[in-house]
Amino acid sequence: MATRTPSSPSSPLLPWLGVALLVIVLDQFTKTLILQYFQYGDSRTVTSFFNLVRVHNTGAAFSFLAGASGWQRWFFVGLGAVAAIFIVWMLRSHGGQRMFAWALSLILGGALGNVIDRLLHGYVVDFLQVHYAGRAFPSFNVADAAITVGAVLLILDELLRVRKAR
């Protein structure tokens, strides 16, 4: 298996932190709009397969641990903080690898966007809902979308890197 080589020490960190900050700002702005204009549980149909809703998620992805007694809030805040430190360290080491750095920056921005929610509200504000044939996919937000796109880019980057190493 090929190993990931660090890019040069002069790899730019600031642009990647800027991408993460942009994700955070967009995420928090959209959540602020939802909190301002929607009551908890409100739903507005946008298309035949997409709604804007206001739900609160005290758990993680797909409401994992949402029913726990409250300890999960601090667990996910701590996990997000540790992940953020690790991602910044990775960006410093590999900032010259564009797809990898894009992926990490999107994940960083999304993780911190959700950490901010947990610190401010005790839950994550979700508001995007896709549905089909009477079944709804779990609601999500801009931060979740950024994390998902970042994860897909990480997988693609790894597949391309391994393919290139052959």
* Residue 97, in any domain of the structure: yes
**Nearest CA-CA partner of 62 in 150, 120, 147:** 147
The whole-number pLDDT of residue 72 equals 65
3-state helix, strand, coil in the chain (%, to 5): 60, 15, 25
State yes or no: is 126 an active-site residue: yes
Decide if 115 contacts 77 (C-beta within 8 A): yes
The answer as to whether 82 is a domain residue is: yes
Asked whether residue 60 is domain-assigned, the answer is: yes
Inside any domain, residue 23? no
Is residue 9 assigned to a domain?
no
Tell me how far CA of residue 117 lies from CA of 2, 41, 60, 133, 154, in angstroms: 38, 17, 12, 31, 25
Which domain does 131 fall in, by range? Answer: 44-165
Distances from the Cα of 93 to the Cα of 5, 40, 89, 90, 100, angstroms: 9, 42, 6, 5, 11
Domain count, the chain: 1
One of 27, 117, 126, 157 is an active-site residue; which one?
126
pLDDT at 64: 54
**Distances in Å between the alpha carbon of 134 and those of 11, 50, 52?**
49, 12, 16
pLDDT of 3 reads 53
The pLDDT of residue 134 is 85
- Structural domain contains residue 30: no
Query: How many residues are recorded in the chain?
Result: 166
Q: Is 144 a catalytic residue?
A: yes
Selecting among 27, 117, 144, 157, the annotated active-site residue is: 144
pLDDT in tens, the chain (166 residues): 445 555 445 468 999 999 999 999 999 999 999 999 999 999 999 999 999 999 998 766 655 555 555 566 678 788 889 999 999 999 998 888 999 999 999 999 999 999 999 999 989 999 999 999 889 899 999 999 999 999 999 999 999 988 888 7
pLDDT value of residue 1? 45
Q: Is residue 28 part of a domain?
A: no
Confirm whether 22 is domain-assigned: no
